[in-house]
Amino acid sequence: MILKVRPNTKESIVEQVDQAEQIIVVGAGIGGLTAALGLAKQGWCVKILEQAAELSEVGAGLQLSPNAVKVLRHLGVDQALTKHIFTPQNACIRDFRSGRYYLKMPLASDVVKRYGAPYWHVHRADLHQELVAACRQHGVEIVLGQRVQGYRNEKDHVKVLLEKDTLKASLLVGADGIHSQIRELMLGMQAPIFTGQVAWRGTVPVTNIAGATVQPDATVWAGPNRHVVTYYLRGGAFVNFIAVEEQAQWQNESWREEGDVDILRDKFSGWHPEVTAVLDGCESTFLWALNGRPTLSTWHDERVVLLGDACHPMLPFMAQGAAMAIEDAFVLAKTLAKYDFKEAFSRYEAFRKPRATAVQKQSCDNAALYHMHGGWQGRMKLEALGMASKFANGVINAKLDKIYGHDVTTLEL
């Protein structure tokens, strides 16, 4: 058997082998927690290993489209979330300066009628909190401060090498994000591909916003080589923003750092008052490099499997990053409930890779649309989109149906 370890890691560690009849999930993010919950509800003994010293999520919002809400409903988390959510009225694309609408599609009750589930805005920390509570209720053990150094597939289990001991499990799930250690161990080290874009993110108390009223919509403010997304969180008490700009390179070693609010305001100076009022009320922000990765040759290695950003990182231009991880988690648990792990992993990848790849592409294409690439031609594309939404609604719905209408809870796997 081949031992896969991080460079400079010694295997001269006393083995404190844990029970084999369990699944170890690496990463206590949205995808990892959803997978752990789904597996626990199938009867598995599940342990989550999280390298952070405490469970926390950066203050930022998420858009949960119907395809994700259906999974959370099936797992019994939706009711706990209702006290945290905000339901947007419309999905909009507006001009960065004039505020005119290029696109305005109804959400709220319309999306429930069309897709059978709502469209929600939720604070990432609130979703994280409810998933943690549900996992613990179903017996999931969450162990913090654990960094995986290597793994070894053996005949009837996988050994997981940590810094101070070795665990043994039936299966290992890598849900540890775009900088996944499990993916590196499986497929080798590879630097993420910088997409040429960075994102400023933050949440602003409504009480800090003066001089404009932010509309209760999921709004993309499209502008030359940059865009801003605004929407409400926590019942309307906060406004979440994501401000994306194109940059030639990202030289900082950290994938995420605290940003300078004054620089952020300066970069979007002269934009519509709804945008500038939000940024003027912002007290702190984080700056992300938007990175991608090429399509992986495989998502699994014998008893080890990947999900979410570990195998298909998403640009945030379709608001589907969390949704795809949630879908992955459900399909993985569902296939493992029906098949032995080899067949389950094969079916899981066969079902999920084409969908994840298609959503990745659509997200990437939206960047050019939101940033008005091509000057006047870019504006014309936005105008054409608006005309299609008014007079050829089927064109828009056909695109959204593929995303929002997808229901993994009813798939025959």
Q: What is the pLDDT of residues 139-180, one digit of tens each?
A: 999 999 999 999 999 999 999 999 989 999 999 999 999 989
Q: Which residues contact 310 (CB under 8 A, 6 or more apart)?
A: 27, 31, 174, 175, 176, 177, 178, 180, 182, 183
84 to 15, 61, 90, 150, 307: CA distances (angstroms) = 43, 11, 19, 38, 26
Question: What domains are there in the chain, each with its CATH number?
Answer: 3-191+294-410 (3.50.50.60)
Distance in angstroms between the alpha carbons of the first and the last residue of the chain: 31
| Cα–Cα distance measured from residue 324 to residue 175, given in angstroms and rounded to the nearest whole number | 12
Give the residue-averaged pLDDT of 394-400.
76
Provide the greatest CA pair distance for the chain. Answer: 69
**Of the listed ranges 14-23, 62-71, 296-305, the one predicted with least confidence:** 14-23
CB contact at 8 A, 238 and 158: no
**Of the listed ranges 208-212, 285-289, 372-376, 387-391, the one predicted with least confidence:** 387-391
The share of the chain scoring above pLDDT 70, in percent, equals 90
Whole-number pLDDT of residue 374: 63
Catalytic-labelled residue, pool 151, 231, 370, 404? 231
Q: What is the pLDDT of residues 246-269, one digit of tens each?
A: 987 765 645 567 889 999 999 999
Whole-number pLDDT of residue 11: 46
| Cα–Cα distance measured from residue 243 to residue 259, given in angstroms and rounded to the nearest whole number | 12
Tell me whether residue 101 is one of the annotated catalytic residues. no
Whole-number pLDDT of residue 6: 58
Q: What is the pLDDT of residues 38-57, one digit of tens each?
A: 999 999 999 999 998 888 76
